[in-house]
Amino acid sequence: MNKMTLIGIAVLVISNSLFGYTQEEIASALKRQAQNANIDEKILYTIAKIESGFRPHIISFVSDTKEIKVGGANMSVSPYGEKWIIVLNGKMQNLIKIAKMLIKDGFLIDVGIMQINSQNFKADEIEKMFELDYNIEKAASILKLCENKYDNTNYIIECYNKGYRKKATFDYFNRFKRSFLKDFAGVRL
């Protein structure tokens, strides 16, 4: 991984001791899983940066209300159209319990560094979804499924974020493109 990538991860990873992984471990896992899946590591890096800011111990989900009461994790709430995006971070064991509770209550949640949606894993995989290599490997496999369905980069990247449903806009791809160009092409936006 190039020096700029490592610097980017160092800047974006918040409190390594809290999350249990160093920026080197995260960078190495991204590189390893990119090589295993034959995906450009810059693509995985960019998606990880957008999805979680390189945070392995994070859950996010959409809610009709911002009045969610969840103990054992730090919570932030942001508007999302008529709904709310809830982001939880904290200790892995607490997040595992919270993830199980949210899924049981019918929420679709996104977990870990590359924000794997609960539609893409089984209940018995929840604990593994917070493990660095497992999560990134799962993300790479989802990206490969999208690559097998589409031959256009715009659609592949949108598919990673939105699944196979028809794409009306390419907002996620445009966000990806801006981030990728800024980090890897020296473009100042």
pTM score, whole prediction: 0.86
Reported confidence tier of residue 1, pLDDT bands at 50, 70, 90: low
Reported confidence tier of residue 187, pLDDT bands at 50, 70, 90: low
What integer best gives the mean pLDDT of the chain?
Answer: 89
pLDDT above 90 for 90: yes
pLDDT digits (tens, 9 = 90+) for 128-155: 999 999 999 999 999 999 999 999 999 9
pLDDT digits (tens, 9 = 90+) for 50-76: 999 999 999 999 999 988 888 899 999
pLDDT at 174: 96
Residue 22 · residue 16 · CB < 8 Å: yes
The one-letter amino acid code at 88 reads: L
Matching residue, tokens 């598919």:
159
pLDDT at 143: 97
* DSSP assignment of the chain: --HHHHHHHHHH---HHHHT--HHHHHHHHHHHHHHHT--HHHHHHHHHHHHTT-SSEEEEEES-S-----SSEEEEEEETTEEEEEEES-HHHHHHHHHHHHHTT--EEETTTTEEGGGS-GGGHHHHTSHHHHHHHHHHHHHHHHHH-SSHHHHHHHHHHTTSPPS--HHHHHHHHHHHHHHS----
Matching residue, tokens 């911002």:
66
Token pair of 125, please? 């995989």
Mind spelling out the 3-state secondary structure of 28-53? HHHHHHHHHHCCCHHHHHHHHHHHHC
pLDDT above 80 for 35: yes
Of the two residues 167 and 89, the one the predictor is more confident about is 89
